Chains A and B, each alone.
Chain A
Amino acid sequence: MRRIYLDHSATTPVDPEVAELMMKYYVESYGNPSSVHSFGREVKKALEEARSQVATIIGANSNEIIFTSGGTEADNLAIQGAVRARADKGKHLITSVIEHHAVLDTFKYLAKNGFEVTYLPVDSEGLICVEELKRAIRPDTILISLMHANNEIGSIQPIEEIGKITKEKGIVFHVDGVQSLGKIPIDVQKMNIDLLSLSSHKIYGPKGVGALYIRKGVKIMPLVFGGAQERKMRSGTENVPGVIGFGKACELAAERMAEDNKELTRLRDKLIDGILSNIEDVRLNGPRGDKRLPNNVNVCIRYVEGESLLLSLDMLGIAASSGSACTSGSLDPSHVLLALGLTHEIAHGSLRFTLGRQNTEEEIDFVIQELPKIVNRLREMSPLYHKKLSS
């Protein structure tokens, strides 16, 4: 059976060029980059090359990049590390209600440990209001943490505008760039970002690798002790093949971004229009146009439930995801969809497609053709739809 992968915000395949390069660092150049001998030195050189590739794509310097085990660790290191280094300067922190759980749960932990957290709301499209952010700032605010682009609904926050404010106020600005990296430009200078979390496996690199950009001069405390790797900010022997793969993936992403972006945007809009015009009672979640990630489609289909949509799609070989309560281990609907003001019942029918480099127009056409049939079948089964028809 043919399979169509439309879940690229969960993870991406590793680019063959990346995988090939990584292979070399498993079997041939296996030295420890901290060793003095030639085995170590050659790996150290490759590691530093990767560091510079990651730095380049975000406009940073190599010595501002710390490799981590992924985006989640980078978020934890940034937030906990920055707060610990500044606990004597204040106890107020600002974030938003639609952050990834790696960020939200870290703030929850800090809130239990003496810090005060302001959670900025979002509007119905998933965008925060800059004026509201300004009003939330207090003299004792020590950190503002916001995601660049949302993983569920693709909304892109006005990071550059916010960066001007945090710079002026001298507040450390952390940005979760996991979903935006490689899809839209990030420039830590222009955007005045102090800390930036990145992940490899969302940009055709390997899983288990990420990075934290730490602006020169910004102090943070490490979470992991035990060695002097990564300028003592993250001890432990680096995941060398992973890091090198990540570096290569950044280089490729930078080369392809403009072109990928154009094609993905075209397919994205085709899919959105196809769904909205072929199925009744559907709403698009998140903004349209350039405030939306080029690869994200997220809709709520009324009277049906997300997991049964996913199962039905899966039977046709189509991979997607949902924010329905039934698909989450906690049985709560997506906090992002609720933050948009949607009811539980509407969030129940959420469906997300996230496109990638390898998707074709024909695949998108297939989804547009099959989804209405699936929805019809499930609606026939739905007591809510029945009620709608009889009222």
Chain B
Amino acid sequence: MYSEKVIDHFTNPRNVGEIEHPDGVGQVGNPKCGDIMRITLEIEDNTIKDIKFKTFGCGAAVATSSMVTELVKGKTLEEALTVSNAVVAEALGGLPETKMHCSNLAADAVHAAIKDYLSKKNKV
């Protein structure tokens, strides 16, 4: 049911982990199935210098997390904010209908982490 790309990203997920002293943190839960995704960012010059993820969820959730980190790494924050769940799903060669909601998680977590960074920055 999963594309080869999904299986690849599930088997060899990129950027797994947790950045120490991150500039931004985004953790979101999936209201549909209860899965959780956590993104940590290192930001320099308005650009995502490093990104790591941790995910408690299904194969699609892991694969979309991994894919989204690849898609936004090295991008400016504005560019990263345009990466939507549809973009992630497409980059993976599509997701099964029942698994589309999992990709929301990945995009949302990145967006939440960026917002976290911005709100912290604005406070300083």
Chain A contact residues, CB within 8 Å of chain B = 303-305, 307-308, 311, 315, 324-327, 329, 331, 333, 344-345, 348, 380-386
Contacts and interface: CB of A to CB of B under 8 A. Distances in A.
The 7 closest A-B pairs by CB, nearest first: A326-B58, A307-B58, A383-B38, A383-B54, A325-B33, A311-B59, A382-B56
B58 A308 contact: yes
B56 A384 contact: yes
Contacts of B33: 325-326, 331
Chain B interface main SS type: mixed
A344 B2 CA distance: 25
Given A344-B34, A386-B18, A303 B56 contact: yes
Contacts of B16: 380-381
Chain A interface main SS type: helix
6 contacts: A325-B32, A327-B58, A345-B34, A381-B56, A381-B62, A386-B54
B94 interface: no
A389 to B, nearest CB: 10
Interface residues of B, number: 26
A304 B34 CA distance: 12
B103 interface: no
A327 B32 CA distance: 12
A311 B10 contact: yes
A382 B11 contact: no
A59 to B, nearest CB: 43
B37 interface: yes
Contacts of B2: 311
A332 to B, nearest CB: 8
Contacts of A380: 16
B122 interface: no
B27 interface: yes
Nearest to A329: B98
A385 to B, nearest CB: 8
Interface in B35-76: 35-38, 54-59, 61-62
Nearest to B57: A305
Nearest to B10: A311
Interface string B61-97: 1100000000000000000000000000000000000
Residue among A304, A331, A382, A385 with max Cβ neighbours from chain B (10 Å)? A331
Contact of B35 (A315, A326, A386): A326
Given A305-B35, A326-B33, A331-B33, A381 B11 contact: no
